[in-house]
Amino acid sequence: MTAARWLVRRLLLTVVVMLGAATVAFAGLQLTPGDPARVILGSTTPSPEQVEQVRHELAFDRPVPVQYGLFIGRLAKGDLGRSYQLREPVGALIGDQAWSSALLALTGFATALTAATVLAVATAGRRPALRRLSMGLELIAISTPGFWVGALLLTFFAFRWHLFPVAGGSGPEALVLPSATLALGLVGVYAQVMREGMERALDEPFVLTARARGGGETSVRLRHALRHALIPLITISGWSVGALLSGAVVVETIFSRQGIGRVMAAAIASRDLPVVTGVILLSALAFSLINMAVDGLYRIVDPRLRESAL
């Protein structure tokens, strides 16, 4: 299968996934108890006429299949509706926040990936003392909850040493502590997966051959072993980046950052259903695209996969 055909097929599949996510979100809306019209009108006891008017405006008085059709039709045009609470278009509301979340997730991921690569290349199959120390620290990093790490980092780097802002902010220095918190949670897993992959690759005959050609230790590791260790790593990073994009709630809350996670938490608490739907769709889209990127990366890293079908 050629790369172009593969891409078209994956994009079509993405559309199907989005449709599925939209349908689930719509069903969730229908099944949630309570009248959305009353949520929109707020805490003041509205008159039945007001409620009826809102219901009519939003087509809540039409049969469910018609509502579903209207909902999908609006989505197809890119209209996610308006927030009940903030009275703003959901698209604009989420868009602002999504950028902040994506930035955090990507810097966290990149930091973790870099650190894990250095650890794995330095300790896979050699330097037993350093390897043991690194593995011990990785285990601690994996088992420490993010909120505690975040609090510790804040205590020392922000409150005591004033190196970084305590909360909010938009410059790059505001990104350091939150992304470090995220990275610490990931680096342990990444380093272990990579080290294991590299150690398996270093036992292969092609590594012996590379050494027999006069390759130095570093070049053997970087040119040969690392690429084989990337395959399991890509699998696990696809999952973890997707999870970061849609759910860095804890870190965003601790560092008082804007972000999708916080928008989602607030929307659920106040039953702001269009916003919830929007976040669900955004997460579905993010996961679909990341999965596509992951499958594409497999094909780049391992040429043997290029010939096999989907």
Partner 1 sequence: MRGDQGTDPKDAPPAEGGALLAVENLRVSFGSGGSRVDAVRGVGFTLRARECLAVVGESGSGKSVTARALLGLAGPGSSVAAGRLELEGEDLTRAGDRRWRELRGRRIGMVLQDALSSLDPVRTVGAEIGETLRNHRTVPRQARQDRVVSLLKRVHVPDPGLRARQYPHQLSGGLRQRALIASAVAADPAVLIADEPTTALDVTVQAQILDLLTAMKAAGTAVLLISHDLSVVARFADRIAVMYQGAFVEEGPAEDVLGSPAHPYTRRLLAAVPGVRRRGARLAPSEPGGDLAGITTACGYAPRCPLAEARCREHVPPLVAIGPAHGARCWRTDDEEPAQTLDTAVTGRGRRDEAVIEVSGLTKAFRGPDRRHRPAVEGVSLTVHAGETLGVVGESGSGKSTLAALVMGLLEPDDGSVRFLGEPWSRVPEPSRRSRRGRIQLVHQDPLASFDPRYTVERIVGEALGSPGRRAVRRRRDQITELLHRVGLDPALLTRHPRELSGGQRQRVAIARALAPGPDAIVCDEPVSALDVSVQAQILDLFVDLRDELDVALLFISHDLGVIHHISDRVIVMREAVVVEAGPVEQIFRDPRHDYTRSLLAAVPRPEARTDTTPTH
List residues near partner 1 by CB under 8 A: 125, 204-206, 208-217, 219, 223-224, 227-228, 301-304, 307
For the CB of residue 249, give the shortest distance to partner 1 in the complex, in Å.
38
The amino acid that residue 149 corresponds to is V
For the CB of residue 23, give the shortest distance to partner 1 in the complex, in Å.
36
**For the residues of 10-27, what is the DSSP string, one character each?**
HHHHHHHHHHHHHHHHHH
Do the Cβ atoms of 152 and 240 come closer than 8 Å? no
For the CB of residue 117, give the shortest distance to partner 1 in the complex, in Å.
17
Nearer to partner 1, 96 or 204 (CB): 204
Do the Cβ atoms of 35 and 21 come closer than 8 Å? no
Nearer to partner 1, 61 or 217 (CB): 217
Ramachandran region, residue 259 (left: φ > 0; alpha: ψ -120 to 50; beta: rest):
left
Nearer to partner 1, 295 or 302 (CB): 302
Nearer to partner 1, 9 or 74 (CB): 9
Nearer to partner 1, 82 or 228 (CB): 228
Integer Cα distance of 153 and 134 in angstroms: 20
Nearer to partner 1, 63 or 303 (CB): 303
For the CB of residue 136, give the shortest distance to partner 1 in the complex, in Å.
22
Integer Cα distance of 151 and 156 in angstroms: 9
Nearer to partner 1, 156 or 206 (CB): 206
Do the Cβ atoms of 258 and 100 come closer than 8 Å? yes
Integer Cα distance of 259 and 148 in angstroms: 20
Nearer to partner 1, 52 or 196 (CB): 196
For the CB of residue 295, give the shortest distance to partner 1 in the complex, in Å.
16
Helix (H, G, I), strand (E, B) or coil at 256: coil
Helix (H, G, I), strand (E, B) or coil at 165: coil
- Cα dihedral 73, 77, 83, 88 in deg (nearest 10): -150
For the CB of residue 209, give the shortest distance to partner 1 in the complex, in Å.
5
CA 282 from centre of chain = 10
For the CB of residue 83, give the shortest distance to partner 1 in the complex, in Å.
48
For the CB of residue 236, give the shortest distance to partner 1 in the complex, in Å.
19
